[in-house]
Structure 1
Amino acid sequence: MLFGFFSLVLILVFWVNSAVSLLDKLLGDGQSARAFFYLTLLSLPSVMSRVLAIAGFAAAVFVTNRLSNESELVVVQASGYSPYRLSRSVFVFSIVVTLMIGVLSHALVPMSLREGALRRAELAQDMTAQFLTEGSFVHPGDGLTFYVREITPAGELRDIYLSRKDTTGDRQSFNATRALLVNEQNGPMLLMFDGMVQDYTNSNRTLAVTRFDSFAYALGPLFDTTAVPAPRPSSTDSYTLMRATPEELARLGTTQQEVRTLIHDRNRAPLLAIAAAMIGFATLLAGGFSRFGLWRQIVFAIVLLIVVKILDTSAAESVGRSAQLWFMAYLPAVAGLSIAYGMLWRAANPRLRPLAAVRGDAP
């Protein structure tokens, strides 16, 4: 129950943080709220894979602290249960969390990345969704601005403004009283009637004005109109990658060695969940009973988790730089489990605790 609560809180925090930038981009391009919610839902598997290990750590710390405050741990240990035996339930819990993150990392996250790429490609082709926003200036591309005052029921655009600025500072602007947006074989076209075009050259600061009765402007070169994005290893599930033939790997633009490195890297996050939960439990258990609570042990457990996370980030960078360092992906989990075992060993040998702690806090 507590794991679900902490997971929900962390997922919402990370999800809202990533959704804000996406909301600004999509709505600024004239996309609907439906497209925004669909793309943000596709980002949930990636968010969950990052926060479930932290949620497992928080749940283990919270439960252990409550058991200590209510003296239940003291009673259980007095009945003959060793710290190693008490950690068995936490270990089983961490295995469940690891399996959840493993399914996300190896299957659901690649699937969501693939679906997200397909959806973004569809939105890039949907010129109508990007252009047809009444009374608003939209920016569907870099240096591109479009405005339409009114859209009639027949689909005719009234009083439109289109401006394109390139990297040299040159600008081309169109004004027209009427326009139509049509799809041709070579891409979308904007047909404008009764208007003018203004060409501004930045190098010599000149402005040329040309009036027209009708003008056809190709919009395809302004956008990435690739219908189906090329598949990538990061958006392909691990089972498919492991069974891929050399020809399929060539289409993905990767090699067998890079695939093995990617799968090792995907194992990193699930195994870290075991270390995180065990560190949280073992650190609090090693602190023994205290009338003042276990806040010092909780802070120390958080510090240890931060150290392990720093090791995890360094390991990810090392594996990314060289495929020969694939074993580095497992070092953070090994280091975390070693820390947890050391804390359990300390809890199993209470005579090694400082004498002041035994006199002041221990029962």
Structure 2
Amino acid sequence: MKRLDRYLLSQLMAIFGFFALVLVSVYWVNRAVLLFDKLIGDGQTAWVVLEFTALTLPKVISLVLPVAAFAAVLYAINRLSGESELVVMQSAGASPWRLARPVAVFGLIVAALMLALVHELVPASRARLAERQAQVSQDVTARFLTEGSFQTPTAGITVYIREISDLGELLDIFLYDARGQRAETIYTAEKALIVPSEAGPKLVMFDGTAQTLRPSDGSLALTRFSDFTYDLGGAIGTGLRGRIDWEEVPSRDLIAPGPELLAATGSTVAAAHLELNDRLAQPLMAPVAALIAAAAMMLGGFSRLGLWRQIGLAVLALIGLQSLSNVATSMTRADPALWALHYMPALAGLAGVALALSWAGRRRKAPPLTAAEDRA
């Protein structure tokens, strides 16, 4: 790699690190605030909040890296232009294509980082996050069981607990279940325990009664029990996680998903291949975004006021590219057979970059000498 390439690449990497850190921090703090309000409101500890926010970090980084690469290229070239370094390079014979070479290498480095994220780190973090969310959802004591007050965790269910002991025992519990149209049941017990299970948390009540009222005939049935198990997870919707999402599956398992994986996701092989192609296309946006920024900045000449028009053009081009990506994603979700559309935004962006660099190179060619100038 020549000295010019190394110089430009070092500038881009340093600025990219700064923009990536700032953008990730802003995005992550925003997500952390939302999770903090939700989890703390549900009675979870600060450690759980920190764990959840950390598990969202790989996904945040994968979303931010292309934008950080785009901003780094804009800032670096604008600074080189303001300090007249870009003019010197162009005067020395560096064409727009030549100046775009280190930008392309920089974009490929960012794409390599994104490959590791979208194929390994993001699926692993998403799977762990889903698992932890299922575990936290079972912690119904922290969510809604408060001693000394009536709680309505869901429509048709009312719970009252006189006291919660240090051992987690629910003393003098009252549970009213009016979900059924044919009967309403009131459960009372001297003591109860919440027991986790594969199907969701169970409420095991001891030494109590169940009074069932049937409005159709006005009959009342009274049942005494020494122990009784109530499906608390099914009643309030806090069961363990059901089907897994394709985002939680490593890319190597998407190539040829087996019957067990298809049953766990409740999806098809076409959907798995669609997710795989989406992950393959995501890293391409990093070099394309960086090259778009470089090509737009090459269209302008030196100006003491900076290259603000070129920066605006680059931003508009990136917005158009993202809009095209959103359209392609919508179309592929509607019809998985159109998986090739995932690569359309990157190809369209590269075509635009080639046109812009060709136009910039043509503008900088010296005009042909006239006959008089040639004789002189």
- Paired residue for 2:350? 337
1:118·1:229 contact (CA, 8 Å) conserved in 2? no
1:129 to 124, 137, 142: 142
**CA–CA separation in structure 2 for the residues paired with 1:320 and 1:20:** 31
Supply the AA of the counterpart residue of 2:335.
S
Aligned-partner Cα distance in 2 for 1:147–1:31: 21
User: Against the structure 1 CA distance between its residues 351 and 38, is the aligned structure 2 distance closer, same or farther, given a 3 Å change threshold?
Assistant: closer
CA distance in 2, matches of 1:33, 1:90: 42
1:316-357 per-position Cα deviation (integer Å, ceiling 9, x unaligned) = 11111112211211111111112222221222122599xxxx
Pair 286,110 (structure 1): closer, same or farther in 2 beyond 3 Å: same
Count of residues in correspondence between the two structures:
345
SS at match of 1:242: coil
Alignment of 1:75-224 (within 5 A): 75-131=88-144, 141=154, 151-157=164-170, 179-183=191-195, 187-189=201-203, 191=205, 218=230, 219-224=232-237
Quick one: distance in 1 between partners of 2:342 and 2:29?
29
SS at match of 2:60: helix
Instruction: Give the aligned residue type for 1:221.
Output: G
**Paired residues of 1:29 and 1:139 also in contact (CA < 8 A):** no
Q: Work out which of the residue numbers 221, 225, 246 in structure 2 matches 1:233.
A: 246
Q: 1:243 to 1:293 in 2, by over 3 A?
A: same
Distance in 1, Cα, partners of 2:266 & 2:225: 49
Aligned identity (percent) is 40
Instruction: Report the 3-state secondary structure (helix = DSSP H, G, I; strand = E; otherwise coil) of the residue aligned with 1:349.
Output: helix
Partner Cα distance (1:343, 1:153) in 2:
71
The answer as to 2:268 corresponding to 1:255 is yes
Aligned to 1:360: none
Q: CA deviation at 1:17?
A: 2.8
- Cα gap change, 1:87/1:50 in structure 2, threshold over 3 Å: closer, same or farther? same
Shift of 1:142: 6.1
Paired with 2:196 and 2:346, the residues of 1 have a C-alpha distance of 55
Shift of 1:90: 0.7
Match of 2:293 in 1: 280
Q: Which runs of 5+ in 2 are unaligned?
A: 1-13, 367-376
Match of 2:37 among 19, 24, 28: 24
Distance 2:82 2:185 in 1: 72
Asked if 1 retains the 8 angstrom alpha-carbon contact of 2:185 and 2:210, the reply is no
Contact 1:125 1:224 in 2 (8 A): no
Please give the alpha-carbon distance, in whole angstroms, between the structure 1 residues aligned to 2:94 and 2:149: 69
Is residue 316 from structure 1 mapped to residue 342 from structure 2 by the alignment? no
Q: CA deviation digits over 1:234-256, x for unaligned, max 9?
A: 31111122143456445543333
* Farther-moved stretch of structure 1 (266-275 vs 7-16): 7-16
Paired with 2:178 and 2:35, the residues of 1 have a C-alpha distance of 24
Shift of 1:304: 0.8
Q: Residues 340, 260 of structure 1: CA spacing in aligned structure 2 closer, same or farther, 3 A cutoff?
A: same
**Alpha-carbon deviation of 1:91?**
0.5
Cα 1:246/1:144, change in 2 over 3 Å: closer
* TM-score in terms of structure 1 length: 0.79
The farther-off stretch of 15-24 and 293-302 is 15-24
1:337-356 matches, cutoff 5 A: 337-350=350-363
Q: Distance in 2 between matches of 1:247 and 1:180?
A: 37
Q: Which residue of 1 aligns with 2:87?
A: 74
User: What's 1:14 paired with?
Assistant: 27
What are structure 1's unaligned runs of at least 5 residues?
202-207, 354-363
Deviations 1:238-286 (A, max 9, x none): 1122143456445543333332222111223211111111111111121
- Which residue identity lines up with residue 15 of structure 1 in the other structure? W
**Alpha carbons of structure 1 residues 147 and 46: separation in structure 2 relative to 1, 3 Å:** farther
Per the alignment, residue 295 of structure 1 pairs with: 308
Cα RMSD between the aligned structures?
3.8
| 3-state DSSP of counterpart to 1:244 | coil
Tell whether the 8 Å contact from 1:191 to 1:215 is kept in structure 2 after alignment.
yes
Q: Distance in 1 between matches of 2:336 and 2:170?
A: 55
| Larger CA Rg, structure 1 vs 2 | 2
Please give the per-residue CA displacement for 1:191-211, whole angstroms capped at 9, x wherever unaligned: 489999999x9xxxxxx9x9x
SS at match of 2:202: strand
Contact 1:56 1:273 in 2 (8 A): yes
Counterpart of 2:55, as a letter, is L
Deviation at 1:5, TM superposition (A): 1.9
Matched position secondary structure for 2:118: helix
